């Protein structure tokens, strides 16, 4: 599958005449392919993006274009529809962000305050947990789990993590809500699950491009201590962590499993 990463945004600086320009950046995950172009404010529309995608492709258009910036998502989606290209909103555009940083181009995004999950999705119980890095693939890849999200680049072996290193995570026992919760999570496109100290403390899910959701709140000091350990372990695992949803604590049935890392 041919995948591009793209950004189309207003240039931070104006030219000598005060003209505002928009810049289009396109690359693949290896950056062996890179393409950039710019246009004036009045030209910045989906038709111009279509023409540039065709120029960049030469002979073969991509199957998917990944976009991390909400402000340009609709324009690129319109262009994608015109050319029959799927557009995937994702924070995981590592090559593109690296390129933009080298050009001193802004990539930080404003995020809204976290909002609570719908009441019918709140977990019955949950806990912090760990799993040896060497067991991640073995335990979950061969099980009949309805929803399984384990990107290749996040597998511990591909991050160079020792097999005995504890990978931190959160296990949610959803009971009858397990499947509705797992389906909602998959649609929300989880990125990271963070412990945040406050009054009360909480677990906040980073999802999609800038979405933030309150998964749980608590005031228990022991749980808060476990949350701090959870964050410390994320530092040791290069940010890798997991989210597991299952009906109960029997260990017999899993509903959903995600490998996560902040982007």
Strand bridging mode 256-260 / 147-149: parallel
pLDDT of residue 30: 96
- H-run or E-run covering 232: helix 221-236
CA 53 to chain centre: 24
- H-run or E-run covering 256: strand 256-260
Least confident span in 9-13, 107-111, 113-117, 171-175: 9-13
Average pLDDT for residues 137-143, to the nearest whole number? Answer: 84
Question: Has residue 98 got a pLDDT over 80?
Answer: yes
* Average pLDDT taken over every residue of the chain: 93
Question: Has residue 250 got a pLDDT over 90?
Answer: no
Domains defined along the chain, listed by start:
3-102 (3.30.420.10), 115-260 (no CATH)
pLDDT of residue 15: 66
Round to whole Å and give the CA distance between 35 and 37: 7
Tell me: the pLDDT tens digits for 188-208?
A: 999 999 999 988 999 999 999
Confidence of residue 16 (pLDDT cuts 50, 70, 90): low
Helix (H, G, I), strand (E, B), or coil: what is residue 104?
A: coil
CA 25 to chain centre: 20
Average pLDDT for residues 22-42, to the nearest whole number? Answer: 95
Question: Has residue 14 got a pLDDT over 80?
Answer: no
Tell me: the pLDDT tens digits for 35-62?
A: 999 999 999 999 999 999 999 998 899 9
- The answer to whether 38 and 21 have CB atoms below 8 angstroms apart is yes
| Structure token pair of residue 236 | 């040791």
Round to whole Å and give the CA distance between 62 and 67: 13
CA-wise closest residue to 156 among 235, 258, 259: 259
Round to whole Å and give the CA distance between 254 and 117: 21
pLDDT of residue 44: 94
CA torsion 249-203-193-213 (nearest 10°) is 110
Round to whole Å and give the CA distance between 179 and 190: 16
pLDDT of residue 166: 97
Residue 140: phi and psi, rounded to 5, are -105, -25
pLDDT of residue 17: 73
DSSP for 87-99, please give it.
EEE-S--HHHHHH
Confidence of residue 129 (pLDDT cuts 50, 70, 90): very high
Average pLDDT for residues 96-113, to the nearest whole number? Answer: 92
Sort 27 into a burial class: Cβ within 10 Å, 0-12 / 13-18 / 19+.
buried
Model pTM score: 0.89
Q: How many residues does the chain have?
A: 263
Quote the crossing angle between the two packed helices 70-83 and 46-57, to the nearest 10°: 60
């Amino acid at each position: 599958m041919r995948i591009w990463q793209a950004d189309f945004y207003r240039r931070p600086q104006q030219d000598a005449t005060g003209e505002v320009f928009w810049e289009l950046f396109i690359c693949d995950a290896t950056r062996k392919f890179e393409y950039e172009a710019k246009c004036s404010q009045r030209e910045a529309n989906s038709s111009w993006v279509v023409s540039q995608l065709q120029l960049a492709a030469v002979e073969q258009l991509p199957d998917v274009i990944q976009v991390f910036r909400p402000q340009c998502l609709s324009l690129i989606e319109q262009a994608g529809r015109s050319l029959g290209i799927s557009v995937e909103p994702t924070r995981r555009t590592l090559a593109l962000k690296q390129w933009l940083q080298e050009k001193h181009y802004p990539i930080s995004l404003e995020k809204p305050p976290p909002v609570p999950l719908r009441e019918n999705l709140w977990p019955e119980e949950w806990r912090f947990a760990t799993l040896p890095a060497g067991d991640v693939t073995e335990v979950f890849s061969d099980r009949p789990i309805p929803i399984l999200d384990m990107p290749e680049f996040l597998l511990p072996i591909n991050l160079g993590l020792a097999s005995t290193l504890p990978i931190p995570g959160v296990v949610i026992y959803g009971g009858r809500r397990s499947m509705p919760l797992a389906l909602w999570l998959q649609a929300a496109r989880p990125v990271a699950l963070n412990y945040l100290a406050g009054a009360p403390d909480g677990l906040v899910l980073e999802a999609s491009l800038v979405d933030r959701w309150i998964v749980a709140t608590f005031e228990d000091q022991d749980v808060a201590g476990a949350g701090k350990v959870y964050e410390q372990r994320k530092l040791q695992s290069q940010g890798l962590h997991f989210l597991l949803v299952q009906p109960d604590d029997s260990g017999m049935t899993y509903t959903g499993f995600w490998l996560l890392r902040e982007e």
